[in-house]
Structure 1
Amino acid sequence: MKILNVELGDRSYPIYIGSGVLEDAKIITSHIKTKIICIVSNTTVSQLYLENLKNLLDDYQVIEAIIDDGEEFKNYDSLNYIYTKLLENQCNRDTTILALGGGVVGDIAGYAAASFLRGIPFVQIPTTLLAQVDSSVGGKTGINHLLGKNMIGAFYQPQAVVIDLNVLKTLDNRQISAGLAEVIKYGLIWDEDFFKYLEVNIENLKQLDFDHLEHVIYRSCEIKAKVVSEDEKESGIRAILNLGHTFGHAIENCLGYGEWLHGEAVGCGMVLAAKMSLTQAWLSESEFDRVKDLIFRANLPIEKPKIDYENFIGAMKLDKKNKDKEIYLVLQQGIGKAIVTNKYSSSALDDVIKS
């Protein structure tokens, strides 16, 4: 097992990464100082891991809040259902929420923890590759709105993140590829050598080679932890973690949440961002081809779905990075370096969206 710390002063916390870590009750219980635990999960994950997790928690009063599975259920109705479960069981601040699931569960459970009684502790137990390398780390919590993704939420850090590689064995190929999109993102924004490593080992990762997976999960979390430690609330450098997301969130919103997986939309969004970077001469033709090729080899979409231009640009205008009603994009200045900017050709953006 490897342990990585997110350094945020009195809000610092560890990330545990390894095979079988969910079988060690002390890893979880050492971060629970309350008598009551509310496990938030979904209808798919709960059937696989809920009972085993409950068996580790005999010394606690355990309640369950099981939401429907899918991005389309990351909404106020699911959030209110969690509040109702907490209130029906007379939960108070002596309660810890355990988020057992992928990014949707982690985001919504974290927001429930941030807002119930103005804040109760929670622990992330991510069960998808995407959640393990990205959404479980950094304290972004929230829900979607019909008009925009992740527009309602809070920055709220967990007590710990517990990553067990064994849970990845139950994922289908599509979910693995979705997670690889966020892994590729870290190479593109921060570490060219890591990107080269992914180019060499993408097939091993798709086949769930645990030695390679542990390395990329650790490195992904390491990069994100460093960025978050420098900029917890996304007032500066943390925004580079959104490479591909402005385009990707627009795809998700326009198609309807759940039609494409988040990672699929981000993968396609990174191709669009790379194309924009190419139009500005910040990325060379050969670098653009490498980006597109790796995303394609990860079994992610590299072509934008047919979406009306006005709807697409309208969704992009609701991105959280925007200022003064201008669209800010995360673009690349070579592989391994990203910037957040509104200094680009608007006609080039129109061409990329319409192409």
Structure 2
Amino acid sequence: MDISTLPTIQQEFNVRYTYQLLFTQHLFALENPLFKNVLEAYRPNEPIKCQFVVDQGVFDSHSGLEKQIQAYCDHFKHQIQFTELIVVPGGEDSKKDQKSVDKCLEGINNNAICRHSFVVAIGGGAVVDMVGYAATIAHRGVQLIRIPTTVLSQNDAAVGVKNSVNAFGKKNFLGTFAIPYAIINDLEFLKTLEQRDWVAGIAEAVKVALIKDKTFFEYIEANAEALAHRELEPMAYLIHRCAELHMEHISKGGDPFEKGSSRPLDFGHWSAHKLEYMTQYQVRHGEAVAIGMAMDMVYAKLIGVFNGDLDRILSVLKKVGFDLDLPLETDSEIQELLKGIEEFREHLGGELTITLIPEIGKKTDVHTIDYKVMEEAARSFMYKPQNSL
């Protein structure tokens, strides 16, 4: 037989994904049936194993959380089987090495968590990222519920389909695309946030407003001081609208698993990821995104892509509480920051694609960057007297 004459076998199939984002307060209060109802919708009236993984910062800030979760599971024991609550480091410490992932995997193994059991991630965006990664590589994927506890994770990081950890000195080098069964935003967790974390999450809302929704930007502009002063009502709306736009992009953008090179939701992120790494993650992700957007807005102004009111946008970022000064002091640091452009292209693969905005509420992609002009834009944020054009 001539092997070369055998016909090619080709197959094609579609998979439908559905997941939901729910909003509540006091999720584990016995009188709140939401968490039980989520599990009940998956498999009614049968105890479902749940392994909880909690951010250390959340665990410390909410005394009695473990007992509350255990009491809730016991109250609804016909539907929920509590196995274990594992505490992991918060922030980027959870993603910087394999230790936290291994801790989650060990729990999944020890508690016989299977594909029809649930891992429940409770924490900020980095912890949710890490736990999601562990959950999707165990048994090729166990069920995952995300309970994000920061503004940034409730409006952006936890509402998507990505999971990751850092490796080889690069943010999110190892990761998966996987759909959580559900995301539950409990606004009560926001009340214990440090002011920096409260403010940092607003960056992603400004980002999505700038590229997608002028009316939303105007809402943030009108409520900037209320947001800075931690008023819960405008923050609740900001989180809901930002998450809604994010999820619409995933479902309607035609590229939920990022097979292409365009990632408009990463506006301002090429420098943000690099800046986080350069400062050993002393700069919060949202803080870095705010600086990154500001830099890219100045760049867009300098090359003539954006002809609108730059100071208006920078003013909104400052009013909600962002310091837009680059925490860099030397020429070599600026050159190192600019290397983030090529690292961003490498992370995406294929053609370099950087999102800019020609006007508020609209975006455009560029595929080349003038490094000299971008350096000029970066330098304009090195010292406070030069923070605007």
Residue 271 (1) aligns with residue 320 (2): no
Following the alignment from structure 2 to structure 1, what is the Cα–Cα distance between the partners of residues 132 and 348? 24
SS state at 1:142 partner: strand
AA aligned opposite 1:267:
A
Secondary structure of 1:10's aligned partner: coil
Is 2:371 the partner of 1:346? yes
Aligned mate of 1:167, from 189, 193, 209: 189
* TM-score, scaled to structure 1: 0.90
**Alpha-carbon distance in 2 for matches of 1:16, 1:277:** 37
Q: Contact 1:21/1:27 (CA < 8 Å) preserved in 2?
A: yes
Partner of 1:4: none
SS at match of 1:64: strand
What RMSD in Å do the two structures reach over aligned CA positions? 2.2
Deviation at 1:237, TM superposition (A): 9.0
Distance 2:27 2:111 in 1: 29
Match of 1:192 in 2: 214
Aligned partners of 1:274 and 1:288 also within 8 Å: yes
Pair 1:53–1:9, CA change in 2 (3 A): farther
- Cα distance in 1 for partners of 2:128, 2:200 equals 16
Counterpart selection for 1:113 from 135, 153, 175: 135
Q: Which residue number corresponds to residue 5 of structure 2?
A: none
Equivalent residue, structure 2, for 1:11: 17
The CA deviation at 1:9 is 7.0
2:57 equivalent among 44, 62, 66:
44
Question: 1:98·1:123 contact (CA, 8 Å) conserved in 2?
Answer: yes
Residue in 2 that maps onto 1:30 = 37
Deviations 1:326-347 (CA, angstroms, capped at 9, x unpaired): 6432211111112232144333
Point out where structure 2 has 5 or more consecutive residues left out of the alignment.
1-13, 381-389
Matched, 1:242 2:266: yes
Where does residue 3 of structure 1 map in the other structure? none
Pairing partner for 2:95 from 48, 69, 74: 74
Equivalent in the alignment of 2:275: 251
| Distance in structure 2 (CA, Å) of the matches to 1:78 and 1:340 | 37
From the superposition, tell whether residues 125 and 353 of structure 1 become closer, same or farther in structure 2 (CA, over 3 Å): same
What secondary structure, in the 3-state scheme, does the structure 2 residue paired with 1:249 have?
helix
Structure 1 residue identity aligned to 2:289: V
TM-score normalised according to structure 2 size? 0.83
Q: Does 1:142 align with 2:142?
A: no
Aligned amino acid, residue 71 of structure 2: N
Which structure would you say has the larger Rg?
2
Change (3 A) 1:20 1:73: closer
Which consecutive unaligned segments of at least 5 residues does structure 1 have?
A: 1-7
Contact 2:151/2:202 (CA < 8 Å) preserved in 1?
A: yes
Q: 1:54: how far off?
A: 2.8
Q: What aligned pairs does 1:155-234 form with structure 2 within 5 A after superposition?
A: 155-230=177-252, 231-234=255-258
Partner of 1:312: 337
Paired residue total: 345
Q: 3-state DSSP class of the match of 1:289?
A: helix
